[in-house]
């Protein structure tokens, strides 16, 4: 099965939270309510340096995905 790069999720236990799941490496879930990120990968010290620079772009892409999805619901 091929998955999209981002998935939008919610959960009734967290009524104010909006979750974006990044399905490609490095996999993560971001809660747009508070910008908390949960990484679904284990990283070495060497990987962490590269991840720091890449993370900002990935989080911006996740936010752009959310904005695009919401705009499609509003039309």
Q: Can you give the residue ranges of every domain in the chain?
A: 6-74
The predicted structure's pLDDT at residue 57: 92
Q: By the 8 A CB rule, do 62 and 20 touch?
A: yes
Residue-wise pLDDT tens digits, 5-45: 999 999 999 999 999 999 998 999 999 999 999 999 888 88
The predicted structure's pLDDT at residue 75: 67
pTM confidence score? 0.87
Q: Which residue has the tokens 């990987």?
A: 47
Q: Which residues contact 46 (CB under 8 A, 6 or more apart)?
A: none
């Amino acid at each position: 099965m091929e998955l999209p790069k981002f998935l939008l999720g919610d959960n009734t236990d967290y009524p104010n939270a909006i979750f974006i799941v990044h399905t490609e490496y490095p996999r993560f879930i971001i809660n747009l309510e508070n910008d908390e990120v949960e990484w679904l990968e284990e990283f070495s010290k060497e990987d962490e340096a590269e991840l720091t620079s890449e993370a900002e772009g990935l989080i911006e892409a996740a936010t752009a995905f959310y904005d695009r999805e919401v705009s499609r619901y509003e039309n």
